[in-house]
Structure 1
Amino acid sequence: MSPQLRGIGFTGPQQQRGAIGLMAAVTLGMVLLFMLLVVDSGRLYLEQRKLQRVADMAVLEAVSRLGTCGSGATAASYANQSAIRNSFTPGAVQKINTTCGSLSTNSSQLRVFTADANKSDAIRVIATTTVPTSVAGGLWSLFSKDGFNLNTNLTASAVGSNGGAPLAALTIRSSLGTIDSSKSELLNGLVGGLLGGKLNLSLASWQGLATTDINLLSYLNQLAINLNLKAGDYNQLLNTNVTPTQLINAAVNVLEKNGAGATVALQGLKAISLIASNTQILKLGDLIKIQNGTSTAGLDTNLKVLDLLQGAVQLANGKSAVAANITTNIPLVGNVTVSLKIIEPPQMSVVGNPALAILDPLNGASRIYVKTAQVQTHIHIDLAILKLVSQIVSALTQLLSPLTSIVNNLLELKLDAVLKCVLSTCDRTSLSIASSLDIYLEAASANSYVTAYNCAGSAPKSLTAQTSSAAAKLSIGLPPTNGAFPSTTVINQQNYLAVDPVKLISIDVTSCTLVVVCGPLQIGKGGALGIKVQTQVGATSKPLTWTGANLPNVNTAPSYQSIDVNSNIIKSLGDSLSSNLLVSYTPQTGNITSTALTAVSGLINEVTGILSTALSGLLSNLLDPIIKTLLGALGISLGNADVGANLSCNQGGRAQLVL
C-alpha cells in the first residue's frame, strides 16, 4: 500500500521563511524600473520643452523683425540668430527650418498655416534635434522592423504672426438713405435694365433691401460652399469665376438663415436672381478686395443688402454690352429717354493692413482703395418736348434778328429785292427746332485710398484717405446710326465721345406774293445751325481724416465723411459752354457765294452767345434732377463722394504665437 501523501502547503512558519524578501526584491525591481522610465521620459520631456522654447523664441524674433522669405529673405537669418542665443546651434544635428506663408480658417473653424514664399503674414519655424533613445523607446524599437536605434529625433513647430497688426477698412457709400415710391419705380427700371430684364418689385421690397444687413464673412463662406471651394481661402474665392446668379443666390442663402426678419428682402433678391445672367463670367474680387493674409476679423462686418446688390449689378453690367433704357419724367421738361451704361465697375469695399497699404498707397498690391462706378448716360429729348422748353423758345426769339441777317446774306435778299415783295414774290424766314437733342454725360469714378494712419503712442488713433470727387464730361451732338453710345476719340488730349454737330435750329423759308399770299413752309431751305458741345469739369481731390471716437473698429458700422468740393457741378458745366460750344452753319444745297459765307461768319459769335445762355439754363433744369435721382440710385454723385472708414489697432502689431 502506498504511503499516505502529506500536504504540500506551507503550513508552518519555518516553511514560509524568505517569502517577504522575495516580494521585496520584486517590488524594488519594479520601483527601479518605473523610476528609470520616469527619469528617462522626463529627460525627453525636458528636451522637447527646450526645443519648443527655441522654436517659439525664433519665430517671435523673425515676426517682430518683419522677416521675409521672398527676394532678400531675412526670416531664416533672424530665426537662426535667436536659436544661437538660446544655446541651439543649427548644424548637422540641430536644425532650424523657416517658412513664410499666411493664415486661414478651415471648415472646422480651426486656424491653419499655408506656406507661400511670397507672403510674410505668418512665419513657421520647425526646430529638430537628435537625443539618445529612451529605455522604453529602445525596448519598443527592438520589436520594430527597423531594429534598435540609439538615437531619437525630436521636432518642435511654432507659427507666429503680427496677430495684433492694425486693420483698416474703406467703403464707399452706394445705398439710398430712403426709398419712396418714385425711387422704387426708378430702381425697377435701372436694376432691371442693367441686368437686361424687367423688374416689378414693390416699394416694400426695395425698402427691405435698403434696411437689411448681411454679414460679409457669412456671405463669403456661403459663396465658397455654393462653389465647392475650400472654406477659409478667401483669396481663391475672390479670384474664382462666378455668375451674377451665383452672387445673388449666395446672399439669398445667407438671408434664409436669418429667419423671418429678412423675408421682405428675400422676396426682392429672389425676383432679381431670376433675371440675372447664369452664363456671364465675373470675379467677386473686382467688387470686394481683401489684402493677402488679412484675418477673418476684418471680414466680420455687415453690409447693406442693397449695397451688395448694386455692386453686383454694376459689376455685371460693366462686363456686358447691355444698357439700361429708362423713360422718366423731368420737372419742367417732361418725359425723356435715358440710356445708362456702366463703363467701369465699382470697388465698394477693401480691408487690409494700413501699414502695408501706405508703402504704395495708389498702385501697390496691398493698397486700400475704393471707387464708385464710371457711368455713361445718354439723354434723348424728343422734338415735341424740346419746343416747350422756355430757354429754347426764348433763344429762338433772340436769334430771329441775327439769323434773318444771315439768311438774307446767304440768299442774297437785298433791300431792293425785298421792296419788290410788294409787287411780286419774296422770301420770308422763320426759325424752328429741326431735330431732337441728345446729351451725353460721362461720370468718372470717385475714389479714395488710405495714405496714413496712427496706432502708436498716446495720441488717438487716426486714418487718412486721399479722396477725389467724380469728374464729369458733357457732350452734345448727333448720336451714332446704331447703338445708344458712340465710340470715343481723343480731342485736346482728353477722351471725349465722338459726336458730330446736331442741326438744332432750322432756318425755314416761305415764298410770298403780294406780302400776304404765301406758299407752303419750306423746312430748312435757309440751311441750319449745327451745335456741338464737349466740355468737362475735372475731379477735385483732398484728404479726409478720421480720429479717435469718430473712427470705429473694423467689425462695427463705418464712420462716413463726405467730400463736397464742387456741389454745383452742372452749373460749372453750363458756365463753360461759351468757350466750348461750337456753332456751325450748314447751308442748303444751292449757289451760296463765298462772299456771303464770309459775311455770315461775323454773326456766328452773336448766335453762339445766345445759344450758350439758352443751353446753360436748359442743362441745369434737365441734368440736375437726373443726377440727383438716376445716378444717385447708383451711388454716384458728381462733385461728391461719401467714404466710410474703420480702423482696429488691436495690440499695436506685437508678434504673437498663433499655432
Structure 2
Amino acid sequence: MRHPIDLSPHSQRGAFSILTTLVLLLVLGFLALALDSGRLYLEKRRLQKVADTAALEAITRLPLGDCSAAPADAQQFASENALRNGFDPDADDRSLAVQCVTTMSSGGLRDAVADSHGRAVRVEVQHRVPTSLVMQASSLFSPSIPNQITLRARAVAEREEPSASFSVGAQLLRLDNGRLLGRLLATVGLDPATLTVLDSNGLANASISPAGLLDALGVDIGIEQLKVLSPEGLLDLVQTQVGLLGIDELLDLSLEVVSDSVLRADLALVRQQILGNPVLRDVRLSLFDTPTQPGLLSLTTTPDGEIGPALDTRVNLSELLKTALLIGANQQGLQLHQGLLNTAQLELGIVRPPSIGIGPVGTTAYNAQIRLHLSVDTKETPLLGGLLAGLGVRVHLPIWIDLVTGHGTLESLDCTGAEPLAEIDVVSRVGNVCLGDIPAAARWSDSRSCESDLQSTELIRASLPLVGGFTLDHKLHLPALEANTRPPLAFETVPQRESTAPNNFQLAKTVDRLLDEIMDLIKPSAFKSEGLLGGVLGSLLDLVELVLDPLVNVLKPIVSGLLSPLGGLLDSVINQLLGLEIGRTDVQLQSVSCGIPKLVR
C-alpha cells in the first residue's frame, strides 16, 4: 500500500538546509581560490616592482649608463636596490641575475638580446612561493605534483644616448648688429633694429624641447610613442597634425614660455611687425629640416635609429626665432641686387639658411651660407661695350663667391662629471671664388659650394672680318681662404658660446693655386680659333706655354717662401692691429641632455 507524499513546507525544511550548505561551501571555495589567486598576482606584481627599480638604479648609477663598462657593478647596484625593497637575493628561495643586453626596435616594439658589449641592463628575479590551493590539494594524492611554484619577473633598463642642441654662426653674418644678414633682411622690409629683443638676456635663457614644442602645437600622441617613431614617421606625423608653421605662430608659443612682462611686450611688438609685413606674414615653415626642404630643427637619430634623445633636448628660443626669420625670408627670394657704375651687376643672397642641430654625437648644424654673384659683361656696358662690339670683342666674366660657409659637428659628450662636457668641430670657408656659369636652378637654391655646379662658359670672344677670331671657354675655381685645421671647441658649461680662431691669410697657397689656374686658362686647348687671327694666337700661346711652364715651376717655391711670412704679417696687421677677424665662427651650445634612464617595455 502506497503512502501519499507529504509536500508541505514543514517536510521540505531539511532539503533547503542541505542546498544552503552546499552553496555556502561553493562560495567559500571560490572566495578562497580568488584570494589565493590574488596572493599570487600581488606577489608577481611585487616581484616586477623589485625588478623594475633594480634595473633603473643599476643603469642610473653606472658610468655613462653603460653596462658593458662595469657588469659587476651592475649586479651590485641591482642587488643593493632589491635588498632595500625587502628582497634578499641571497635567500634560499630567491635569486637575482643581471645581464648586459642590446636593445633593438622592430615594428615599433623593443627587444633585448644578451650581449657582453650591450649598454642596457636586464634584471631577472625569482621567488619560490606556495602554489595554489588546488595544486596543494592535488599534491596530497600525487607526490609528483609540486606544492611550490617559482615566480619570475624581468626588467630591462637603458639610458638614452646623451644629446645636445647647438647653432653655428659667423661673426660676419650676425643679425643683432646690422651686419650682412641684417641688411639682407631689410630687403624684405624687416628692420633689423627691432630684432635686438631676440638677443636680450631674458629670451636668451628661455628654451623649449622639440617634444614640448610638439605638445604646444597640439600633437595628439604621448611622448613615449613619439620617441619610438622613425624620422620618417615623425615627419609624417608633423605634416599630418601640424603642417607648416607661420613665424607669428612661433612668436605666440614664445609668448607662452616667457614670463617677463617687458620681454613679452617687446615680443608682441615683433609679432605685430611680422603680421604687418606683406612678405613675411604669409611665410610657412617646416618644423624639421629635410634634405629637400629647409626646416627649423635638424634632428639626428642615435646609431640604432632612435629619435627619442633629440626630442628631450632643449632649444634656445632666441636661436629658434632668428632661424625662422632667415628661412622664411629666404623662401621669398632673399637677394640684394645692385648695379655698379653701369659696368657690372651685383647680387647677394642666402643659398642655405642656418639650422639648429639637435641629437647625439655626430649631429651637424649649418651656418647661413651667403653667395655673391658679380657679373661683368661688356655687352651690357653702353660706352665701352659699344666700342668693343664694333671691334668684334666681348668680355663676359660671371664671378661667384661663397662669402661664408660653415658647419659644426658634435664630436663628443661626457656626462660623468658634475657638468657635462662637449666638443664641437667647426669647418668654415671664406671667399670661395668661382668663374664660370652656374645653372639657374642651382644659383640660389643649392647649398653646395659654387664649384659643385660650375660649368665652362664663354669668357672672351673676338671676331674680326677677314682675319678670323677666337673664343675662350673655361671655368676657374679658387679657394681664397680655406678652412683652418683647428682643434674642436671645448664646452664646460651650458649654455656657452665659443669662437674659433680667424682664418689665416694663406697667401702662398692662394697664389700657388692662382698660378695653376692661369696656366690652365692660357693653354691653347682652352681656345677655339679660326682664321688668321686664330692661327697667330695659337702659335703665340704655344710659345707662351713653352716659356712659362718651366718658369712657373721655378718661381713657385720662391714665391711661396716669400709670401708665407708676408701672410703672417698680414694676419698680424689685419687681425691684431685693425681688429678685423676674417672667418671667425661662433658656436652656441644651447643645452645638453645626458640621457634619461628608462625601462624598455
Q: Does 1:502 align with 2:497?
A: no
Distance 1:596 1:349, change over 3 A: closer
Equivalent residue in structure 2 for 1:598, among 527, 539, 550: 539
1:187 aligns with 2:196: no
Aligned partner (choices 308, 319, 322) of residue 304 of structure 1: 319
SS at match of 1:527: strand
Is the 1:544–1:561 contact (alpha carbons within 8 Å) kept by the matching residues of 2? no
Q: What SS does the aligned partner of 1:255 have?
A: helix
Residue by residue over 1:438-467, the C-alpha shift from the partner in whole angstroms, topping out at 9 and shown as x without a partner, is 112357852333445656579x97543333
Amino acid at match of 1:178: D
Equivalent-residue separation in structure 2 for 1:326 and 1:284 (angstroms):
23
Match of 1:348 in 2: 356
Residue in 2 aligned with 1:612? Answer: none
> Do the aligned partners of 2:345 and 2:375 also contact (CA within 8 Å) in 1?
yes
CA deviations over 1:630-658 (Å, ceiling 9, x no partner): xxxxxxx98443223467697xx998999
Matched, 1:448 2:408: yes
CA apart distance, 1:372: 3.1
For 2:98 and 2:181, locate their aligned partners in 1 and report how far apart those are by CA, in whole Å. Answer: 64
Kindly tell me: are residues 438 and 116 of structure 1, through their superposed partners in 2, closer, same or farther at Cα, counting changes over 3 Å? Answer: farther
**1:544 and 2:555 matched:** no
- What one-letter code is carried by the residue in structure 2 that aligns with 1:251? L
Q: 1:333 to 1:541 in 2, by over 3 A?
A: farther
**Percentage identity across aligned positions?**
15
Find the counterpart in structure 2 of residue 566 from structure 1. 504
- Picking from 427, 434, 437, the partner of 2:397 is 437
Q: TM-score, normalised by structure 1?
A: 0.52
- Equivalent residues in 2 for 1:443-482, closer than 5 Å: 445-452=405-412, 462-470=421-429, 473-477=432-436
Give the whole-Å Cα distance in 1 for the aligned partners of 2:376 and 2:355: 33
* Residue of structure 1 equivalent to 2:267: 262
Contact kept? 1:466, 1:544, Cα under 8 Å: yes
CA contact (8 A) 1:169 1:351 kept: yes
SS of alignment partner, residue 469 of structure 1:
strand
**Which entry has the higher C-alpha Rg, 1 or 2?**
1
Q: Which residue of 2 is the match for residue 369 of structure 1?
A: 364
| Whole-angstrom distance in 2 between the partners of 1:348 and 1:203 | 21
- Give me the TM-score of the superposition, normalised by structure 2: 0.56
Alpha-carbon distance, 1:337 to partner = 3.5
> Is the CA contact (8 Å cut-off) linking 2:326 and 2:354 kept in structure 1?
yes
| Number of aligned positions between the proteins | 472
Structure 2 match to 1:534: 476
SS in 2 for 1:252: helix
Distance 1:218 1:62 in 2: 24
C-alpha spacing 1:213/1:312, structure 2 compared with 1 (3 Å): farther
> How big is the shift at 1:475?
2.4
**Structure 1 stretch 239-248 or stretch 252-261: which is displaced more?**
239-248
**Mapped partners of 2:211, 2:591: distance in 1:** 21
Q: Give 5+ residue unaligned stretches, structure 1.
A: 1-40, 103-112, 136-149, 190-198, 358-366, 401-428, 489-493, 509-521, 610-636
Tell whether the 8 Å contact from 2:298 to 2:356 is kept in structure 1 after alignment.
Answer: yes
The answer to whether the Cα contact below 8 Å between 1:560 and 1:644 also exists between their aligned partners in 2 is: yes
Report whether the alignment pairs 1:246 with 2:245: yes
TM superposition shift of 1:251:
1.3
Distance of 1:47 and 1:484 partners within structure 2 = 64
Hey, what does 2:14 align to over in structure 1?
Answer: none
**Aligned partner of residue 374 in structure 2, secondary structure:** strand
SS in 2 for 1:349: strand
How many Å apart are 1:245 and its aligned residue?
A: 3.5
| 1:336 aligned residue | 345
Deviation at 1:240, TM superposition (A): 1.0
Whole-Å separation in 1 of the counterparts to 2:374 and 2:432: 14
Q: 1:214 to 1:282 in 2, by over 3 A?
A: farther
Q: Does structure 2 retain, via aligned residues, the 8 Å contact 1:323–1:339?
A: no
SS of 2:167's partner is strand
Contact 2:120 2:158 in 1 (8 A): yes
Measured on the aligned residues, the alpha-carbon RMSD in Å equals 6.3
Distance 1:235 1:285 in 2: 21
Whether the 8 Å contact between 1:217 and 1:296 is mirrored in structure 2 is no
| Superimposed CA distance per residue, residues 73-115 of structure 1 (whole angstroms, 9 cap, x where no aligned partner) | x999977996798137899x9999999879xxxxxxxxxx994
SS of the equivalent of 1:466 reads strand
Taking the aligned partners of 1:383 and 1:209, their CA distance within structure 2 comes to 45
SS of 1:552 mapped into structure 2: coil
Tell me the equivalent position of 1:641.
Answer: 585
- The secondary structure found in structure 2 opposite 1:580 is helix
Would you say 1:178 and 2:176 are equivalent positions? yes
Q: Which residue of structure 1 aligns with residue 517 of structure 2?
A: 580
Q: Give the distance between the partners of 2:195 and 2:513, measured in 1 at CA.
A: 38
- TM-superposed CA distance for 1:44, in Å, is 11
Q: Match for residue 18 of structure 1?
A: none
Instruction: Give 1:288 deviation, angstroms.
Output: 4.0
Contact kept? 1:94, 1:128, Cα under 8 Å: yes
One-letter amino acid of the structure 2 residue matched with residue 326 of structure 1: L
Aligned partner of 2:53 in structure 1 is: 56
Tell me how far 1:248 sits from its aligned partner: 3.8
Provide the C-alpha distance between the structure 2 equivalents of 1:210 and 1:81, rounded to a whole number of angstroms. 46
Structure 1 residue 369 displacement after superposition: 3.2
For residues 591 and 199 of structure 2, the distance between their equivalents in structure 1, rounded to whole angstroms, comes to 25
Distance 1:227 1:46, change over 3 A: closer
- By percentage of residues, which structure has more helix? 2
1:379 to 361, 371, 374: 374
**One-letter code of the match for 1:468?**
V
State the alpha-carbon separation in 2 of the partners of residues 596 and 654 from structure 1.
73
Give 3-state SS (helix, strand or coil) of 1:502's partner: strand
Residues 72-221 of structure 1: matches in 2 within 5 Å?
Answer: 86-87=89-90, 115=110, 117=112, 129=127, 131-132=129-130, 162=159, 168-173=164-169, 176-180=174-178, 184-189=182-187, 199-208=188-197, 213=204, 215-217=206-208, 220-221=211-212
Q: Distance in 1 between matches of 2:151 and 2:582?
A: 65
Aligned in 2, Cα 1:479/1:183: closer, same or farther, shift over 3 Å? closer
Q: Per-residue displacement from partner, 1:341-400 (whole Å, max 9, x unpaired)? A: 63x675432344xxxx3xxxxxxxxx24333356665432354887999xx9xxx9xxx9
Query: 2:10 corresponds to which residue?
Result: none
Shift of 1:327: 0.2
2:11 equivalent in structure 1? none
Residue 436 of structure 1, CA deviation: 3.9
SS at match of 2:309: coil
The CA distance in 1 between the partners of 2:207 and 2:163, in whole Å, is: 16
Contact 1:44 1:134 in 2 (8 A): no
Q: In the alignment, which residue of structure 1 is the partner of 2:570?
A: none
Question: Which segments of 5 or more consecutive residues in structure 2 lack a partner in the other structure?
Answer: 1-37, 83-87, 134-146, 259-263, 552-580
Task: Go from structure 1 to structure 2 and tell me whether the alpha carbon gap of 1:133 and 1:351 turns closer, same or farther (over 3 Å shift).
Answer: same
Q: Which residue of 1 aligns with 2:578?
A: none
**Aligned-pair CA distance for 1:160:** 5.0
Q: Does the C-alpha gap of structure 1 residues 479 and 544 become closer, same or farther in structure 2, counting only changes over 3 Å?
A: closer
Q: 1:654 and 1:324 mapped to 2: Cα distance?
A: 41
String of CA shifts for 1:472-508, please: whole Å, max 9, x gaps: 643223566x6574999xxxxx85612224117x587
Shift of 1:200: 2.3
Structure 1 residue 580, shift from structure 2 partner: 0.5
